[in-house]
Amino acid sequence: MTGYEPILTKHLGQPGSATLAYYLSNEGYKAARSAVRDMDRSQIIQTVKESGLQGRGGAGFPAGVKWSFIPQNSKKPKYLINNADEGEPGTFKDRLLINHNPHQVIEGMIIAAKAIDCHLAFIYIRGEFVKEARVLETALDECYNNKILGKGIFNSKYNLDIIVHRGAGAYICGEETGLIESLEGKRGWPRIKPPFPAIEGYLGCPTVVNNVETLANVPHIIANGGQWFRGIGANPESPGPKLYCVSGHVKKPGVYEGPCGTELTTIIYDWAGGIRDDNKLKAVIPGGSSSPVLKANEIDGLKMDFPSVQAAGSMFGSAGIIVMDETTDMVQACYNLARFYAHESCGQCTPCREGTTWLIKILDRFTKGQGRQEDIDLMLDVTDNIGGLIDLSYGSFGKTICPFGEAVSWPVRAMVEKFRPEFESYLTEKVTG
């Protein structure tokens, strides 16, 4: 990480970094104070637009543009929801930010709330994150006790309350409309769009849903300007600092901060220490388990930003990098992944509910040596019927209400297509063995 100074994780590991006293001693809430007292909503939104900040939850939609969709003349209350339901396998960055610097996240929420004229915001956090929920609640108490939240924050006329809401650990509630349904006390079934949450979200009111890491960037943008942020990274169209989660067969798994556009090989070999036991690299999932796998020969020179990874045939997503070495059995890996998604399907859409079940039935046959030659193409047909063929063009949708269909069909399809000989070998071993 030569030449790059951490921004989001600058204070990581420092004693007391989660406390308000520590945060204030390092210019904490200075940007929020400025935004609340000295900037109007349009100025905040324009600054974030200029920055080019893209959502860090996976979709990569420009945050400032999303905020601008909130109707300014609506008489309905506006809501902000911080999506802390980090359930994507291979991703573990948001809980790091919450544990070590919750006030950075809260400050980003204050600025975003002011930008959309929100007076009640929520942090929807995954139910398993018991420690993280308590850290956030403690941080919020500190804010209320110091008039950073509540009525007349920063001695202004602006009021804001933030509530922590714990979910029940459903992967589907990471999807923004499923999250909203859950927050309303209903089953977490994603909604048909349109209408989009910016028009009709929580309780039928204009709502913005942003990811933890997205909001953590906002104070730095307000403090330093949009052009400063856009100047970080290799591509001004996909800029800023990024937290990369590296897991799997590497010597030093963990969360690494660097600029967007850092080469994937640099992250794996320089930051994460290379492949365990000095084995050969076989495959990499670049953006969390819902993104299509890339073979080792597909990652040379690959820059980790939204357009570059998309051009390579996968997704930048949450930058949850899962590394697989030469010892990995891709049939077993595919089966493991498919079982996860079958378990997490909300069951609302027939293609997803039935298709995920069929995938694990077929893959189960393979792992037991009972696979048939026609099962390989059958899996491709099933993935097509669940989520459509792999088409990463922006705005493309599959055959289900939410992107969960693609989340299972794309990675399974990529594994079958790119490692077809391994699936065929299971058939050969069954016949000869």
| pLDDT above 70 (res 2) | no
- In this prediction, residue 388 carries a pLDDT of 65
Reported confidence tier of residue 52, pLDDT bands at 50, 70, 90: very high
**CATH 1.20.1440.230 at 330-432, yes or no:** yes
**Rounded CA separation 6/36 (Å):** 26
| pLDDT above 60 (res 397) | no
**Pairwise pLDDT comparison (387 vs 280), residue with the higher score:** 280
Where are the CATH 1.20.1440.230 domain residues in the chain? 330-432
- In this prediction, residue 31 carries a pLDDT of 98
Reported confidence tier of residue 433, pLDDT bands at 50, 70, 90: very low
Sheet holding 294-295, edge to edge: 254-259, 241-248, 320-325, 281-285, 294-295
Q: Give the 3-state secondary structure percentages of the chain, helix then strand then coil, rounded to 5.
A: 45, 15, 40
| pLDDT above 90 (res 392) | no
Arithmetic mean of pLDDT, 183-199: 95
pTM: 0.94
According to DSSP H, which parts of 155-305 are helical?
A: 176-183, 212-224, 226-230, 264-265
Reported confidence tier of residue 406, pLDDT bands at 50, 70, 90: confident
Mind listing the pLDDT tens digit for each residue in 340-355? 999 999 999 999 999 9
Considering the chain, what percentage of its residues have pLDDT values greater than 90? 88
**CATH 3.30.565.10 at 20-230, yes or no:** no
- In this prediction, residue 395 carries a pLDDT of 40
**Rounded CA separation 343/289 (Å):** 14
**Phi and psi angles of residue 320, each rounded to the nearest 5 degrees, phi first:** -90, 95
- In this prediction, residue 387 carries a pLDDT of 79
DSSP conformational letter for 85: -
Average pLDDT score, the chain: 93
Q: Which three-class secondary structure string do you get for 6-66?
A: CCCCCCCCCCCCCCHHHHHHCCCCHHHHHHHHHCCHHHHHHHHHHHCCECCCCCCCEHHHH
| pLDDT above 90 (res 374) | yes
Where are the CATH 3.40.50.11540 domain residues in the chain? 20-230
Mind listing the pLDDT tens digit for each residue in 253-277? 999 999 999 999 999 999 999 999 9
DSSP assignment string, 375-398: HHHHHHHHHHHHH-S---STT---
CATH code, 241-325: 3.10.20.600
| pLDDT above 50 (res 333) | yes
Nearest to 240 by CA among 213, 266, 263: 213
Sheet holding 118-125, edge to edge: 161-166, 118-125, 78-84, 207-211
| pLDDT above 80 (res 1) | no
- In this prediction, residue 399 carries a pLDDT of 83
Distances, alpha carbon 2 to alpha carbons 252, 256, 274, in Å: 18, 13, 17
Task: Give the CA dihedral 103, 108, 114, 119, nearest 10 degrees.
Answer: -50
